[in-house]
Amino acid sequence: MKVVFHERFLEYYTSDPAAVPGRLDPALALAKEHYSLVSPYPCTEEQLLRVHNPSHIAHIRADQSVYPIALLAAGAAVEASRLAMAEEPAFALCRPPGHHASPDSCWGFCYFNNVAVAVKELLALEMVKKVLIVDFDLHYGDGTANIFNNIQAVTYRHLKGQNREAFLENLLEFIKNEKADLVAVSAGFDRHIKDWGGLLTTEDYGKIGHMLGEFARAHCGGRIFAALEGGYNARSLGDAFDAFCRGVENP
């Protein structure tokens, strides 16, 4: 497993829960201990324009405290997807998150849709024909759904369930009949029992990673990448991130 990370992701770039100081520190410590780190480059304007309208990009560009790090977060997802295409599972440990960013708007601490930028790049380069985007964040990724609405090459699924067992079953039922060239994951850890959602255990995130990793090995040549979305308890975020990555790696 490669972890795509840049020191700028530690910066306090605005006043929202995704940007608070220290949020990524436990996850980064575990990443340095267990995985290989890869540094990303900012995404390009061409890559952004595959997803977002020029007016939206201009609106985000006007805030120079946010714009550079938002470019870098999208670039981290692109780099993670490139690693995945080389059959190396990868996780973009980045912020700001992205799944609430639509073509012409954004909210929920998001600016550019990181996962969508990465997926659109691979589609434009004809490197994939079918992509599954699995989103296990507490909140529905309306931006991702809007971007890929009526695009048959991409299936977006936001997982849900009233309890732990139902949540894991929802994932199992979804993937058992799916086929794809790549799995992209919007990895939000705010359903953790010690976070906003109060539902999933650290071990559950390991099971999610295992199921998705098994699917990728069986159907996608092992091609799977993830990008961080939510997760606001720094400690549980770190533990769940590590459990998910270990789950992806372990057959």
Q: Is 100 annotated in the active site?
A: yes
Q: Which of 6, 99, 100, 210 is catalytic?
A: 100
CA distances from 171 to 2, 156, 194, 241 (A): 24, 12, 21, 18
Does the CA dihedral 82-234-204-114 come out positive or negative? negative
131 within 8 A of 182, measured Cβ to Cβ: yes
> Which residue pairs from 27-34 have beta carbons closer than 8 angstroms and sit at least 24 positions apart in sequence?
27/93, 27/234, 27/237, 27/238, 27/241, 27/242, 28/93, 28/238, 29/238, 30/238, 30/239, 30/241, 30/242, 31/3, 31/5, 31/93, 31/241, 31/242, 34/1, 34/242, 34/245, 34/246
27 within 8 A of 61, measured Cβ to Cβ: no
Catalytic residues: 100
